[in-house]
A and B are shown apart, each in its own frame.
Chain A
Amino acid sequence: MSVPIVDALISIVGSNAVLTRAEDVVPYSFDGTATLNERPSAVVFPQTTEQVVRCIQLAGAHNTPIVTRGSGTGLSGGSVPTPGCVVLCLTQMDAILAVDPRNLTLRAQPGVITQRIDDAAARHGLFYPPDPGSLRISTIGGNVAENSGGLRGLKYGVTRDYVMGLEVVLADGRITRLGNACVKDVAGYSLKDLFIGSEGTLGVITEVLLKLVPRPAARRTMLALYDRIEDAAETVSAIIAARIIPCTLEFLDRVTAGCVEDYARVGLPTDCAAVLLMETDGHPAAVAAEASQMKSIARAHGARDFRTARDDAEALQLAGARRNAFAALARRRPTTILEDVTVPRSELASMVTFIAETAAAHDLQIGTFGHMGDGNLHPTFLTDERNQDEMHRVHRALDAIVKMTLELGGTITGEHGVGLGKKPWLRQQMGDASFALMKQVKQTLDPNRLLNPGKIFD
């Protein structure tokens, strides 16, 4: 890295907000994705939108790529540095600017931790539903850039459904404000939607305006245990067919439940083939009715055991344990490779079976968990990156799973993004014309490939 750009960065944000020493920047070489890392040239912590603008202009002038980062919890390598880049870390822009209970909105800087958004909403009796597994660590800016999902996606949708407006700094340094606090707005293209899930490749999000909803008055969390995975899948289909949309319908297979129990000690059985974690929320009467209906459906579809959380503390414990499922799977083997394939809900049972067969066929260990209610599965390879033969089999199995996903009308990623990890299969899913259109958008907004180059596509 040439010294002039470092000196210029320091003149913009101050010497305390620029890191260049190896010991300082090595810990910014990765996100939450296994096997991917690259040491950045520098890490810079802007405090204001104005500083973001000047950093981007400076990087443009020096032709140095910028990788925007929040807490680095991404699961597709989206914020893994590219060679020679400057990491633009927005964690210090972490103010909640306003909660507006009359318009049901919350305005925040991108570095606010997701959990704090919902905590702030809760103080007004309001609710910010998107709850990615890392919500205690992840930043809201990162959530918007990745269009993160979560456990409540089935009933409440994903991050995109709660973004009303954005302030975005473009690659040429222009500040744009997209969207507003209006519930209805059809003025021109919905450009904010272009930036949601753009993985830092089109602009830098410097402010978000979020939609809030009334906080549900009641909540009930339940566990159903099965000896056959198919029965769990059938239960999910039957619940949805009964016109119930629970807040959460989470699935854990035997391997995952065992790892989660090792860590969290919440009393998950480790001898059953599938665990369903279900949650319903809303009006107390509706919650009571839905919970009892879900219980009978689970029983009717072969649930071996059914438990209801005694209180909020136990409910939180169960949901918390599920949120750690991915990391808990790392207990088994040195390397944990997480996938994010999603299929239409009707195809779920066949997908789960196919994954199990693929694991056996390639002599691999796979733990599967996921959001069964919305068809989003997380088959996770428990492997060792140092074992080349095994890694080769992992890649072959992955190819097979992706192929089947696409045949079933699914997507290669439901909520983690493409980043570096899913790049090889994007064109296959999108088809040539859509793929070219996407590249055209990138070319228009970032012609010099300044922003997170090499992510989503080359």
Chain B
Amino acid sequence: MSPDLSLQTLDYSVLQQCMHCGMCLPTCPTFDATKRERNSPRGRIALMRAIADGKLDMTVEFADEMSYCLGCLACQSACPAGVNYSLLFETARSDIERRHLHTGTSRAFWRWLTLDVLFTSPRMLRIAGRLMRVYQRSGLEAFVRRLRLTRLLPAKLRRLEPQAPRMARAFSNQLIAPHEAPRGEARYKVALLTGCIQDLVFPDINRDTADVLLANACAVDTPATQPCCGSIHVHNGLLDRARAQARQLIDLIPPDRYDAIISNAGGCGSHLRQYGHLLESDPQYRDVARVWDAKLRDVHEWLIKIASRAPGAMPFDRAISLTYHDSCHLVHSQKVSAQPRALLRQLPGVTVRELTESTWCCGAAGVYAVTQPDQAEALLRRKVGHINATGAGLLATANPGCHLQIARGLRDAGIATTVVHPISLLASAYRREGLGKADPLDKLVQ
């Protein structure tokens, strides 16, 4: 990836790879919504190729189209020709950003706050998380809502305000020690990535991940303060910022010291295993980034690879049924879909029911719910309908964006299904082995 990535300088064969057969069309959620070619993968690639050929200007229309694309990469799974849509998508977005096609002071402010401040400094992000936690838990939020002060917010924010995730009582560094050793002999040494949203909102999932790794003879290193992986920057066209994030993370967790570097968030993992590509024009980091990619493993993938031990106890004190939603970037980018299912099927007392369109995007897609609220809602309703049809008491999914989005959708629809990370179920089952003790998770299915 050259530093000034653009459609015109991109290796042209990446664009040529698309021979417009159309096999992607039925798998694209935006084409499904409009039936217009420009809203389809091959249509978008045709626009990119026309721009690369100098036959089309890069316009606000094109920028809007690329903003309408979820980046779910379902097309990449469907593509027989092996088109690297992910690269094309990131190149186009980076091009669009450099040309400042999308403007507006409020957009600029929010981009600055999130991309340049919060998701650049893990400390700032945790401070913001703590402030948010105080606001949510002190009664101030309830007070503001009761007085309907949210009316003072701009329309877009007002709509999003109820969607703001609840901050956890403690973040990952308060739950996980920097070095933890398994009870018996350690067979593997791994590093655990705690993520950003996962850290603030679902630190328990990080704790559960550490516990499951420990239960499978892995010594777990979890640096207390970890920089954002840069995924959000790449998706918003800020490649230089993403490279800086990647270098920081590599410096913090030198890959040659570990058997694996573990991610438990589909979206982060997808980006994390492409550092080699991201840093290929950086002579100092190029080689170590390749090693990093080879070590980076989704937690489910790693557990299957090391033939993890099937838990001897049920995750709850009674049998349950659950269904599984594939996070787009876990299934379409990381190609991890059999492993979480296999782990769930190993759980005693758990019946796994397949979800219709389990690989179809739920509409979360990074900041899509903010930029394209209508399409995001439509996808969420569709997802919730399918989940409801399974009649399962739990929905397992392995990405914080999907987790929050689907949980909200289920809540809004008045459906009692609870969202949970597959690894939390495993952790619960391991903890109950021989203990007969109730796990905090039990409250979920009562």
Contacts and interface: CB of A to CB of B under 8 A. Distances in A.
Interface of A: 19, 21-24, 26-32, 34, 39, 71-73, 91-92, 134, 136-137, 260, 262-264, 324-328, 330-331, 334-336, 384-386
Contact of A34 (B13, B19, B22, B47): B19
A415 B43 CA distance: 26
17 contacts: A19-B36, A22-B59, A23-B38, A23-B62, A26-B43, A32-B21, A32-B22, A39-B55, A72-B20, A134-B21, A137-B22, A262-B82, A324-B80, A327-B80, A330-B82, A331-B17, A385-B16
Contacts of B12: 334, 386
A398 B50 CA distance: 28
Nearest to A115: B26
A137 B43 contact: no
B342 interface: no
A328 B80 contact: yes
B22 A28 contact: no
Contacts of A72: 20, 22, 37
A331 B38 contact: no
Nearest to A26: B50
Say whether chain A's binding surface is mostly helix, strand, loop, or mixed. Answer: loop
Contacts of A136: 23, 26
Interface in B70-88: 79-82
Contact of B21 (A92, A326, A335): A326
B82 A23 contact: no
A331 B47 contact: no
Contacts of B37: 27-28, 72
A264 B35 CA distance: 26
B13 A23 contact: no
A19 B43 CA distance: 14
A27 B22 contact: no
The 3 A-B residue pairs with the shortest CB-CB distance in the complex, in nearest-first order: A27-B43, A330-B81, A327-B80
Contacts of B13: 334, 384
B17 A23 contact: no
B231 interface: no
B36 A24 contact: yes
Nearest to B39: A27
A334 B13 CA distance: 6
Q: Which of A26, A72, A137 counts the most B-chain CB atoms under 10 A from its CB?
A: A26
B22 A134 contact: yes
Contact of B46 (A26, A137, A262): A26
B102 to A, nearest CB: 15
Contacts of B38: 23-24, 26-27
Contacts of B62: 23
Contacts of A264: 80
B140 interface: no
A137 B23 contact: yes
B-side interface size class = 20 to 34
B82 A29 contact: no
Given A26-B56, A27-B38, A336 B19 contact: yes
A330 B21 CA distance: 10
Q: Which of B13, B16, B44 counts the most A-chain CB atoms under 10 A from its CB?
A: B16
B48 to A, nearest CB: 10
A21 B18 CA distance: 23
B42 interface: yes
B364 to A, nearest CB: 26
A330 B19 contact: yes
B433 interface: no
B61 A21 contact: yes
Given A22-B56, A134-B21, A27 B26 contact: no
B65 interface: yes
B259 to A, nearest CB: 26
A125 B225 CA distance: 62
A31 B26 CA distance: 16
A263 B80 contact: yes
B19 A327 contact: yes
Contact of A327 (B35, B43, B81): B81
Contacts of A326: 21, 80
B29 to A, nearest CB: 16
Interface string B255-278: 000000000000000000000000
B40 interface: yes
Given A330-B81, A334-B13, A27 B21 contact: no
A38 to B, nearest CB: 11
Contacts of B23: 134, 136-137, 324, 327
Contacts of B56: 22-23, 26
Contact of A334 (B17, B26, B35, B36): B17
B25 interface: yes
B82 A263 contact: yes
Given A28-B37, A73-B22, A328 B81 contact: yes
Nearest to B25: A137
A131 B22 CA distance: 16
Given A23-B47, A324-B80, A327-B80, A30 B17 contact: no
Contact of A27 (B16, B42, B82): B42
Contacts of B36: 19, 24, 27
A31 B22 CA distance: 9
Contacts of A29: 46
A23 B61 contact: yes
Contacts of B59: 22-23
B65 to A, nearest CB: 6
A332 to B, nearest CB: 10
Contacts of A327: 19, 21, 23, 79-81
A327 B38 CA distance: 20
A30 B21 contact: no
B49 to A, nearest CB: 9
A368 B6 CA distance: 36
A75 to B, nearest CB: 9
Q: Which of A34, A73, A330, A386 counts the most B-chain CB atoms under 10 A from its CB?
A: A330
Contacts of A22: 56, 59, 61
A330 B20 CA distance: 10
B76 to A, nearest CB: 11
A29 B20 CA distance: 11
Given A137-B22, A334-B17, A27 B40 contact: yes
Given A27-B46, A384-B13, 8 more contacts: A19-B36, A22-B56, A26-B55, A134-B21, A137-B25, A262-B82, A327-B23, A334-B16
B106 to A, nearest CB: 25
B66 to A, nearest CB: 11
A331 B46 CA distance: 18
B50 A31 contact: no
B80 A27 contact: no
Contacts of B22: 32, 71-73, 134, 137
Given A23-B61, A136-B26, A331 B82 contact: yes
Contacts of B43: 26-27
